[in-house]
Chains A and B, each alone.
Chain A
Amino acid sequence: MIAVNTPDTFDMRNGDSPMQPPTTTTIGRRSVLTGGLGAGIAAMLSPLLSACATRNPGMLTIGLALPFQGASWQTGFLAAANWAVDQLVRRGRKVSLRVADAAGDAQTQIQQVNNFILQGVDFIILEPLSDTALNAAVDNAALAGIPVLSTALGSITNAKAIDLQFDYDELGRKYVDYIAERTGGRGNALNIRGLAGNAAEQAIQDAYIRALKKYPGIKIVSEIFGDWNQSVAQQRVAAVLPTLPTIDIIFSQGVAASGAAQAFITAGRAVPLQVWGFDGVDVNLLLALNRKSGYRSVAINVDPGIGSLAVNIAVAKLSGIDVPMKMTAPIPTLTMATLESEYRTMADSDIVWIKYDYDATIRDVIAPGRQTPSS
C-alpha cells in the first residue's frame, strides 16, 4: 500500500518494470472500482493519476460519458464534441476525446466514470443518467484532481461538478412568444407532452405554462402524452383527431412535432402552427410544407451543439481560465431562411447542431456565467 503512494513506484510500473509487487496495485484498483473505500483510495491514487496524465506532456485527454447512443440527439452531441476537438487540434492544441456509452444504465455510467479516473483523463464530461447516483464517482474525480462537467441531461446534486445546462424558461419564452406573435395571442392549442413523471418534462411544461400566462387568448383544448416517442405521439394524435375542434396551435417538446404534423396530414387536415424540432424529419417536412403551401414556422430546440461547448469549456478550464461553476447554454432559433439556405440537403436521420468554437464559448457562455451569481 505504501509503495503505491509514491509516484516513483508508479512510474516504474508504467515503465514495464517487473519489480513492482503485484498485490499493491490490485488492492488499489479494486477498492476504487467498487467505490467502497473510494475517497481514501482516490486520495492515495491522486499523485499516481497525475503521473499518468503527464506521461504524454501537453496532451489533454477528455473523457466523455454518454448516456446512450442511437438517439439522434446524442449522435448530434457526439458529432459536435468531435467537431470542437478537431477545431482545437487545428489551432495547435493537443486534445483527444475518450468516449464511453452507458447504454442507459446509471450503474454502468458510474463504472465508466471511475475507469476514466483510473485512466488518468484530464477532464470528464458527464451526461448524467441520475441526479444522485453519480455523486460518489464525482467525489472520486474531485479527489483525483479531475474536474467534472455535468451537462445536457440535467444537473447532479454534487456541487463539485461544473454545471452547463439549458435554461428551460428561456426555451418556453422563445417558443411561446413566437407562437403568440404569429397568432396574435389567440387560438385553440393541442398540447403534446413528453414522458409522464419525468423531471425535465415537467420543467419544460412549467416553463411553457409560465410563458403562456401572458397570453390568456391561447387555450389548451386537449393534452396528450406522447412519451417523447415520435411514433406514440403520432398515433395518439391520430386517434383523437376526428373528435377535436379546430386546432390552430400545437405545443410539443421537440420530438413530437413531425409525428403530430404527419397525423394531421394523414387525416387530410391542415398542419397547425407549431414550433419544430432539430431532427432531419422535422426540418425536411417543414421545408416541404413551405414549398407546397407557404407554411412558415421556426425550429427551436435544446441544441446538441452543447457538445462543442462542453469540450471548449474543458479545454478552457485546463488552460487555467476562470470557469464558473454554473453556465447556461444558448437556445437557438432557426428561421425559415436559415433552414432553407443551410439545412436544405440534410438527411432525415441527421440532426441540426450549432457549432460553437473556442472563442465563442468563452465570450458567450463562460464570461456571462461569471457575472450571474450561482444559485
Chain B
Amino acid sequence: MTSSLTADPTGTHREPAPIERRHIPFPSWAGALIAVLCLWALAGVVTGTMSFAFILANATIAGFLALAATAQMTVIASEPGNFDLSLPYVITLGAYLMSAGLMGPDNVLGSLALALIAGLLTGAFNALLIVRLRIPAIVATLASGYIVYSLIGIIQRGGFRRVGGSFEALLRMQVVGVSGALVVVVVTLAAAAFILAKTVFGVQLHAMGQNGEAARLAGVRRGWLTVGTFAASGLLAGWLGALLATYQGGVSADLGRSYLLGSVAAVVVGGTRITGGVTSVFGTALGALVLTLTQSDLILLRLSSGVQNVVQGLIVLVTVCLVALRTKSR
C-alpha cells in the first residue's frame, strides 16, 4: 500500500494547488489589487496629483514587509495553525549580524553570510523543537524568539556600525524612481514564488498543508519538509534583516518589531487563506503594498493615530470575511 504510493511522490502532487483555483472566476489577489489602485487614487485626491514617485516609494517600503510576509506565508501554508513568531527577532538578529562586523570590519559578504546562516539555523532549530519534541509551532517559535532576543543583547554589547559602502549604494540607487532595494526584493520574491510553485519542495509543502496525513501516505517526509519550511522562513528573515540594516543605515533593537503582526496581516490581505495549503507570493506582496499605502494615506489624511489603528484593523477584518465568503461560495 505505502510502497505503491511512494513510487512517484512528485508526480502525484503536481496538480493540487491549480485544481483548487480553477473554479474561481477571479484570482485571490484581485481584491488586494483593487485596494492598491483605490488607495493610490485616494492619495492622488488628497495631494492633488497622481504621483508615480509616491507608489514607488511605498513599494520599496512594502517590499521589506513582503519579504517578512512571504516567510510567514511559507510557514502558514505548511500546516493549519502554523505561525512563525520568531520572525521579528530573526530579522533584528540578521540586522545586527550585518552591522556588528564580527567577520572583520569591512567584510560585508562575510557579515551577510553570517546573517543568512543565523536565520537558517534559527529556522532549523524551530523545526527541531516542532518535529522532535512535538511542540506546537506557535509555542516553539515563541520560545526560540526569546532565545534569539538574548543573543541580540549579547551582540549589541559588542557595538555596531553603519554597513555603508557599495552594498548600501546599490540598495539606495534610484533608476527612474525604482530603488535598488525594490529590485533586490522583487528578485527574491520571484525566486521564492518559483520555489513554491515549480519545485518538488514547493509542491510537497502545499500537499502537506492541505492534508498532512494524505501527504505522508503519499510519501512526503514531513519532518524534513518542516525543517525546510522553517529554515526557508529563517533564511528570508535573516536576508530581510541584512537588507534593512544596510538600506536604513542603522540598526536598533526594535527593528523587527513591526513585522510580526504586519507579516500575518499582509498574508491575509493578500487573499491567502490562513488555514494552510495555499500560497501566493504575488498576492502577499500586494497585501504588503495595501498595508503600506493605507498607512501613508492615513498620514496624508492627517487622521488621529486612534483612527489609523481602527482603519487598519478593519481592513484586515473585511479581507478575512471576504476570503471566507469566497471559500464558502466555492
**B147-160 interface code vs A (CB 8 A; 1 in, 0 out):** 00000110010011
- Inter-chain contact A239/B292, CB cutoff 8 Å: yes
Please name the residue on chain B nearest to A68 by beta carbon: B253
| Distance of A224 Cα from B300 Cα, bound (Å) | 9
Q: Which of A239, A259, A266, A348 contacts B295 (CB 8 A)?
A: A239
- Inter-chain contact B248/A242, CB cutoff 8 Å: no
- Inter-chain contact B302/A229, CB cutoff 8 Å: no
Residues of chain A within 8 A (CB-CB) of B11 are none
- Inter-chain contact B248/A239, CB cutoff 8 Å: no
- Inter-chain contact B299/A222, CB cutoff 8 Å: yes
Q: Indicate if B47 sits at the interface (CB-CB under 8 A).
A: yes
Interface SS of chain B: helix
- Inter-chain contact A70/B152, CB cutoff 8 Å: yes
Q: Which of A41-49, A230-238, A319-327 forms part of the interface with chain B?
A: A230-238
- Inter-chain contact B57/A242, CB cutoff 8 Å: yes
Please name the residue on chain B nearest to A70 by beta carbon: B253
Residues of chain B within 8 A (CB-CB) of A230 are 248, 250, 252, 254-255
| Distance of A151 Cα from B275 Cα, bound (Å) | 48
Q: Which of A193, A227, A348 contacts B162 (CB 8 A)?
A: A348
Q: Indicate if A197 sits at the interface (CB-CB under 8 A).
A: yes
Q: Indicate if B232 sits at the interface (CB-CB under 8 A).
A: no
Residues of chain B within 8 A (CB-CB) of A258 are 249-250
- Inter-chain contact A262/B300, CB cutoff 8 Å: no
User: Contacts A70-B253, A231-B248; is A236 near B295 (CB within 8 Å)?
Assistant: yes
Q: Indicate if B172 sits at the interface (CB-CB under 8 A).
A: yes
Residues of chain A within 8 A (CB-CB) of B160 are 347-349
Within 55-80 of A, Cβ neighbours of B (below 8 Å) are at 69-72
Q: Indicate if B107 sits at the interface (CB-CB under 8 A).
A: no
User: Contacts A70-B153, A229-B252, A231-B255; is A348 near B296 (CB within 8 Å)?
Assistant: no
Please name the residue on chain B nearest to A193 by beta carbon: B305
Q: Which of B58-66, B73-81, B136-144 forms part of the interface with chain A?
A: B58-66
Please name the residue on chain A nearest to B303 by beta carbon: A223
User: Contacts A196-B306, A243-B300, A347-B161; is A266 near B172 (CB within 8 Å)?
Assistant: yes
Residues of chain A within 8 A (CB-CB) of B56 are 242
- Inter-chain contact B248/A262, CB cutoff 8 Å: yes
Residues of chain A within 8 A (CB-CB) of B179 are 266
Q: Determine how close the nearest CB of chain A comes to the CB of B318; give it in whole angstroms.
A: 22
Residues of chain A within 8 A (CB-CB) of B54 are 240, 242-243
Please name the residue on chain A nearest to B181 by beta carbon: A266
Q: Indicate if A83 sits at the interface (CB-CB under 8 A).
A: no
- Inter-chain contact B57/A223, CB cutoff 8 Å: no
Residues of chain B within 8 A (CB-CB) of A348 are 99, 159-162, 250
| Distance of A163 Cα from B295 Cα, bound (Å) | 39
Q: Indicate if A168 sits at the interface (CB-CB under 8 A).
A: no
A interface, size bucket: 35 or more
Q: Indicate if B258 sits at the interface (CB-CB under 8 A).
A: yes
User: Contacts A242-B57, A258-B250; is A229 near B159 (CB within 8 Å)?
Assistant: no
Q: Indicate if B51 sits at the interface (CB-CB under 8 A).
A: yes
Within 287-330 of B, Cβ neighbours of A (below 8 Å) are at 292, 295-296, 299-300, 302, 305-306, 308-309
| Distance of A238 Cα from B254 Cα, bound (Å) | 18
Please name the residue on chain A nearest to B249 by beta carbon: A262
Please name the residue on chain B nearest to A232 by beta carbon: B258
Within 230-274 of A, Cβ neighbours of B (below 8 Å) are at 230-232, 234-236, 238-243, 255, 258-259, 262, 265-268
Residues of chain B within 8 A (CB-CB) of A255 are 252
Q: Indicate if B242 sits at the interface (CB-CB under 8 A).
A: no
Please name the residue on chain A nearest to B177 by beta carbon: A242
| Distance of A275 Cα from B238 Cα, bound (Å) | 33
Q: Indicate if A225 sits at the interface (CB-CB under 8 A).
A: yes
| Distance of A227 Cα from B309 Cα, bound (Å) | 13
Give the interface centre of A72, A266, A267, A347 by most chain B CB atoms within 10 Å.
A266
Residues of chain A within 8 A (CB-CB) of B299 are 222-224, 236, 239-240
Q: Indicate if B257 sits at the interface (CB-CB under 8 A).
A: yes
Residues of chain A within 8 A (CB-CB) of B247 are 266
Residues of chain B within 8 A (CB-CB) of A229 are 252, 254-255, 257-258
Residues of chain B within 8 A (CB-CB) of A227 are 258
Residues of chain B within 8 A (CB-CB) of A231 are 244, 248, 252, 254-255, 258
User: Contacts A240-B300, A348-B161; is A262 near B250 (CB within 8 Å)?
Assistant: yes
| Distance of A238 Cα from B54 Cα, bound (Å) | 9
Q: Determine how close the nearest CB of chain A comes to the CB of B156; give it in whole angstroms.
A: 6
Q: Indicate if A364 sits at the interface (CB-CB under 8 A).
A: no
- Inter-chain contact A235/B61, CB cutoff 8 Å: yes
Please name the residue on chain A nearest to B92 by beta carbon: A231
Q: Which of B64, B156, B172 contacts A235 (CB 8 A)?
A: B64
Residues of chain B within 8 A (CB-CB) of A71 are 253
Q: Indicate if B53 sits at the interface (CB-CB under 8 A).
A: yes
Q: Indicate if A207 sits at the interface (CB-CB under 8 A).
A: no
| Distance of A93 Cα from B246 Cα, bound (Å) | 47
Q: Determine how close the nearest CB of chain B comes to the CB of A345; give it in whole angstroms.
A: 12
Give the interface centre of B51, B61, B250, B292 by most chain A CB atoms within 10 Å.
B250
Q: Indicate if B211 sits at the interface (CB-CB under 8 A).
A: no
| Distance of A16 Cα from B257 Cα, bound (Å) | 50
User: Contacts A266-B172, A348-B162, A349-B161; is A238 near B61 (CB within 8 Å)?
Assistant: yes
17 additional A-B pairs beyond A242-B57, A349-B161, beta carbons within 8 Å, are: A196-B306, A222-B299, A222-B302, A230-B250, A231-B248, A231-B258, A239-B61, A240-B300, A242-B54, A243-B51, A258-B249, A265-B249, A267-B57, A281-B249, A347-B159, A348-B161, A348-B250
Top 9 closest pairs, chain A to chain B, by CB: A196-B305, A242-B53, A349-B159, A281-B250, A239-B296, A243-B47, A242-B54, A70-B253, A230-B252
Q: Can you report 22 A-B residue pairs in the complex whose CB atoms are below 8 A from each other? A: A196-B305, A197-B306, A223-B302, A225-B308, A229-B257, A230-B252, A231-B258, A236-B299, A238-B57, A239-B61, A239-B292, A240-B299, A242-B54, A243-B46, A243-B51, A243-B54, A262-B248, A266-B247, A281-B249, A285-B249, A348-B99, A349-B161
